[in-house]
Amino acid sequence: MKKVLTILAVLVLLALPGYARSVPAVGNVDGVILHTIQVPWEIADEHVSANVEPNALSVTTRTKLLVDAAIATDVAASGATGDEEISIYPLDSEWNAIRLRAIGITDGGTRTDQIYFGSLGGGKDCELSHAGQLAWVIGTQQSVYDQITFTSGGTFEPKPGDLVTGVTSKETAVVVSTTLSGGSWAAGNAAGTICYKSASGTFTNSEKISIVNNRGQTQTDVLTHAGNDLIDFELADTVVLTAGAWGSTWGTVSPADNTNAEMSIDIRGADIMVVVTSDANCDSKLLIKGY
């Protein structure tokens, strides 16, 4: 009877909000093998090659607040130094390691990323450690990601995972991210680029789109595509690592068949990743997946 009461007490505690986060998210346990829940690929960094590329962080500027200040100063200076291209990506507290891939719009294009990790631990500032340099070469295999420019953004901001449908073409795609180049969603005049995945076909030139969000709510005619069709991204098939001392646990995959070059690394408890794309000759994105 005591065992039954103990089990019931544990189950009640696990059901309480304060205890829910402490239990690791798992798909199932098979003997001694733990199968973790998979998460989708996300965009950790977007880089426009026409912009100025930032320099790698010097040892005297490798703190979170100094990077924040450099980005803010460069935004005010309209990208004069390239620091506004630096990305700070928060890492999920349940991730022990990450995988990285790169995609670009030019077959044979290149991008070079400097990767830094830091542990804020709930604070506002921390030191950043240089884990290594990743030099990517874009391959010939098309990815599921595409990009298109938009104008007349309307007051509804598309969110990752939203399903879009062309009002004229009836083609569909899934929103991955949006990047503003001007205007605002609040004013209804947002303009920029939107990244999709799994597009069903060709959108009609300058057509409006409707959006169904993750709650099943439909927003009609909320955004106007400015271009004729999606720009296709290609996957990087080669990556060359120059590891830093902190990044000694890198794993490298560069297949010989033009598919999915990839890097993986144990993040060692880090909770932020800073990406500095120090060189690029095509518009490109860095993808991330935690596990």
Query: Looking at the structure, do residues 86 and 110 belong to the same domain, yes or no?
Result: yes
d(CA 122, CA 181): 31
Q: 6-58 pLDDT, tens per residue?
A: 434 434 333 433 333 333 444 555 666 655 657 889 999 999 889 999 999 99
Query: Looking at the structure, do residues 131 and 266 belong to the same domain, yes or no?
Result: yes
> Length of the chain in residues, anyone?
291
State residue 40's pLDDT score. 86
265 contacts 250 by C-beta, under 8 angstroms: yes
> CA nearest 227: which of 162, 160, 166, 185?
166
Query: Looking at the structure, do residues 121 and 10 belong to the same domain, yes or no?
Result: no
Domain boundary among 188, 209, 231: 231
State residue 25's pLDDT score. 46
Query: Looking at the structure, do residues 264 and 215 belong to the same domain, yes or no?
Result: no
**Total tally of structural domains belonging to the chain:** 3
Q: What is the mean pLDDT of residues 96-113?
A: 94
Q: 229-257 pLDDT, tens per residue?
A: 889 999 999 999 999 988 889 999 998 88
Query: Looking at the structure, do residues 122 and 260 belong to the same domain, yes or no?
Result: yes
State residue 1's pLDDT score. 46
Query: Looking at the structure, do residues 24 and 93 belong to the same domain, yes or no?
Result: no
Q: What is the mean pLDDT of residues 114-137?
A: 97
Alpha helices in the chain (DSSP H): 2-15, 17-20, 64-76
Q: Which domain holds residue 159?
A: 146-231
Domain boundary among 188, 208, 231: 231
Query: Looking at the structure, do residues 103 and 21 belong to the same domain, yes or no?
Result: no
Q: How far is CA 171 from CA 25, 81, 176, 257, 290, in A?
A: 35, 40, 16, 31, 31
Q: With pLDDT > 70 as the criterion, what percentage of the chain qualifies?
A: 87
Q: What is the mean pLDDT of the chain?
A: 87
Q: What is the mean pLDDT of residues 207-221?
A: 86
> CA nearest 197: which of 41, 47, 67?
41
Query: Looking at the structure, do residues 249 and 124 belong to the same domain, yes or no?
Result: yes
